[in-house]
Structure 1
Amino acid sequence: MNVQIQTVHFDADSKLIDHVNKKVQKLTNFYDRIVSVDVFLKLDNVAHQIKDKIAEIKIRIPRQDLFVKYETKSFEESFDLAFNAAVTQIKRQKEKKFQ
């Protein structure tokens, strides 16, 4: 499984990158045919307001792409919510495949 983590409008610290990598590696527990995972961590560009943190996860599996996006006040929370939604999508996709 190929994993790419991209940060937009900021530089991520190693703690955040490690958190994302550990979680992404767990995806293989739910579906072993994942081709690649792209994680995008972005700062929302809202002028004169507290910037929201956006986490997007794109998962490529054979014959389909899954996409999840969450926006909260911290990257960890955004990523964790997106990760949980991605796991739900993977499980649903796997159930459809075996029915």
Structure 2
Amino acid sequence: MRLQMHAVKFTADQSLLDFIQAKLNKLDTFHDRIIGAEVFLRLEGADSNKVKEKVVEVRLTIPGKELFVKEHDKSFESATDRVLDVLKDKLVRCKEKRSDFSSPAITEAKSRVQEDEVFEPDEL
């Protein structure tokens, strides 16, 4: 997975960047076709002298879709954990939808519906 991190209007510590990268690398276990991720770290309320909250935004790219999650918290680490929980759920749902089309039960049901729709001229 290609990962880009951006700290907006501040310099992020290398340990924070390593923490986020390690957490995002674990997402490969939930979806095997992740193309890349883009992370934005922001300080909310940075205009004044006191920073109120820290914001983590993640844009995750998978084939055919782009997932976006934004979370606020007191620290970047806890916001990252909250973002990952939401992304895990979204990735699992996307993968289930993708695999539903190739499941044997759906393929069999589709073939049965198509067979039932064939009308003989005598029946009309």
Runs of 5+ unmatched residues, structure 2? 101-124
More helix by share: 2
Task: Report the aligned-residue RMSD.
Answer: 1.3
Q: Output aligned runs, 1:1-99, within 5 Å.
A: 1-45=1-45, 47=48, 49-99=50-100
- Secondary structure at the aligned position of 2:5 is classed as strand
Residue 50 of structure 1 and its aligned partner are, at CA, apart by 3.8
Question: Larger relative contact order (C-alpha < 8 A, sep ≥ 6)?
Answer: 1
In structure 1, the gaps of 5 or more residues are none
Task: Compare CA radii of gyration and give the structure with the larger one.
Answer: 2
Letter paired with 1:37 = A
Q: How many residues align?
A: 99
- Contact persistence 1:69–1:82 (CA under 8 A): yes
Residue identity in the other structure for 2:32? D
TM-score, length-scaled by structure 1: 0.93
Q: Using the TM superposition, give the Cα deviation of residue 8 of structure 1 relative to its aligned residue in structure 2, in angstroms.
A: 0.7
Alpha carbons 2:44, 2:51 under 8 Å: kept: no
Deviations 1:24-83 (A, max 9, x none): 111111111111111111111353654210001110000100010000111111111011
Structure showing the higher strand proportion among its residues: 1
| Contact in 2 for aligned 1:43/1:53 (Cα 8 Å) | yes
Identity of aligned residues (%): 37
Alignment partner of 1:31: what SS?
coil
Give the residue type in structure 2 aligned to 1:57: V
Give the CA deviation at 1:7.
0.5
Spell out structure 1 runs of 4+ moving beyond 2 A: 45-51
Secondary structure class of the residue paired with 1:98: helix
